[in-house]
């Protein structure tokens, strides 16, 4: 479904991604794990079009999307839930969800908003509230609901567990699995490697802009290197 081949991405003079190649197959949950500043978020931003790669190719459903504008890429079915949720704090929950469907022109939008409310009942309670007043977990739900409103085939999730209470992390990961079961492929960036590997099928480990290790989630969980570096012994 998605094939990234040898991309280089720069932030000014900083070489943030060095020849990164990954692949995501349809229906999978694939996770990228790695320390802060390793380049995980940079990779997601490049996939969604916020950054442009200098070299290399990005093939999505056999078409090149490398260097295309973000608004074009959303229309092809890739939605990105950015790090730190980035909800529109000055707008209500419902307006945020409507904006999620910005690229759609069909008549099902209101129906799909109700579906999001079924998935996240908490958002329904707060639908008229300004989203800036929500708790971190609720904002994460809103950011995910907003992304689903675009009806993505591939969902990019950047650190969904960041700053959340353990109980909320558990809820969010259950929902991630549900979304995947309903047919959406997921590429998940996480620092919480333990949670990420427990839901993912495969994983990539990124260090200082390079993919250093890849394998099935089970193998990565068992690997001594991963245990010592990311799983706390």
Partner 1 sequence: MEWVQQLVNGISLGSIYALIALGYTMVYGIIKLINFAHGEIFMIGAFVGFYAISGWGLGFFPALLLAMTVCALFGVIIERVAYRRLRNATRIAALITAIGISLLIQYVVIYFRGAQPEAYPNVLSNRSFDFFGAQISSQSLMILCTSIALMILLQFIVHKTKIGKAMRAVSHDMDAARLMGINVNTTISATFAIGSALAGAAGVFFGVYYTKIEPLMGVIPGLKAFVAAVLGGIGIIPGAMVGGLLLGVVETVVSALGYSLWRDAAAFIILILILLFKPSGIFGKNAREKV
- Please choose, from the candidates 199, 155, 173, 148, the residue with its C-alpha nearest in 3D space to the C-alpha of residue 26: 155
Tokens standing for residue 82: 């950015």
Site string for partner 1, 24-63 (x = CB under 8 A): ------------------------xxx-------------
Count of positions on this chain that bind partner 1 (CB under 8 A): 28
Q: Give the interface segment with partner 1, choosing from 30-38, 55-63, 91-99, 119-127 (CB under 8 A).
A: 91-99
C-beta of 93: minimal distance to partner 1 in Å?
A: 13
Told to check if 103 binds partner 1 by CB under 8 A, we report yes
Q: Which residue stretch of 6-14, 80-88, 106-114, 119-127 sits at the interface with partner 1 (rule: CB under 8 A)?
A: 80-88
Dihedral angle sign, alpha carbons of residues 3, 6, 9, 15: positive
Exactly one of 55, 64, 71, 228 binds partner 1 (CB under 8 A); that residue is 71
Q: Please pick, from the candidates 5, 84, 199, 223, the single residue that binds partner 1 as defined by CB under 8 A.
A: 84
- Angle between helix 136-148 and helix 93-100 axes, rounded to 10 deg: 30
Nearer to partner 1, 155 or 220 (CB): 155
DSSP for the chain, please give it: -EEEEEEEEEETTEEEEEEEEEEE-TT-EEEEE--TTSSHHHHHHHHHTSS--SEEEEEETTEE-TT--HHHHHHTTEEEE-TT----TTSBHHHHHHHHTTT--SS-HHHHHHHHHHH-HHHHHTTTSBGGGS-HHHHHHHHHHHHHTT--SEEEEE-TTTT--HHHHHHHHHHHHHHHHTT-EEEEEES-HHHHHHH-SEEEEEETTEEEEEEEHHHHHH-HHHHHHHS--
Minimal distance, residue 169 CB to partner 1, in Å: 17
Nearest distance, CB of residue 80 and partner 1, angstroms: 5
| Phi, psi (rounded to 5 degrees) for 36 | -55, 135
Q: Exactly one of 37, 102, 125, 178 binds partner 1 (CB under 8 A); which one?
A: 102
Among 54, 86, 170, 181, binds partner 1 (CB under 8 A): 86
* Contact mark string toward partner 1, 139..178, x via CB under 8 A: -------x---x------------x---------------
Question: Which part of the chain contacts partner 1 (CB under 8 A), choosing from 14-22, 34-42, 78-86, 213-221?
Answer: 78-86
**Residues of this chain that bind partner 1 (CB under 8 A):** 48-50, 69-71, 74-75, 79-80, 82, 84, 86-91, 95, 98-100, 102-103, 136, 146, 150, 163
């Amino acid at each position: 479904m998605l094939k990234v081949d040898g991309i280089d991405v720069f932030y000014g003079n900083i070489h943030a991604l060095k020849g990164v190649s990954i692949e995501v197959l349809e229906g999978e949950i694939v996770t990228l794990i790695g320390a802060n500043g390793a380049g995980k978020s940079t990779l997601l931003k490049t996939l969604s079009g916020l950054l442009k790669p200098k070299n290399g190719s990005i093939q999505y459903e056999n078409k090149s999307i490398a260097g295309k504008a973000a608004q074009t890429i959303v229309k092809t079915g890739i939605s990105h839930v950015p790090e730190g949720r980035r909800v529109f704090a000055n707008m209500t929950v419902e307006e945020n969800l409507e904006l999620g469907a910005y690229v759609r022109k069909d008549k099902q939008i209101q129906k799909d908003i109700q579906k999001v409310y079924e998935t996240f009942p908490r958002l329904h309670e707060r639908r008229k509230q300004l989203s800036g007043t929500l708790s971190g977990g609720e904002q994460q739900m809103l950011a995910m609901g907003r992304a689903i409103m675009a009806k993505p085939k591939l969902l990019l999730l950047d650190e969904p567990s960041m700053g959340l209470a353990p109980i909320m992390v558990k809820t969010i990961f259950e929902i991630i699995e549900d979304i995947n079961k309903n047919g959406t492929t997921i590429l998940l960036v996480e620092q919480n490697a333990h949670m990420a590997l427990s839901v993912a099928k495969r994983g990539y480990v990124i260090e200082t802009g390079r993919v250093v290790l890849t394998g099935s989630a089970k193998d990565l969980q068992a690997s001594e290197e991963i245990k010592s570096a990311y799983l706390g012994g």
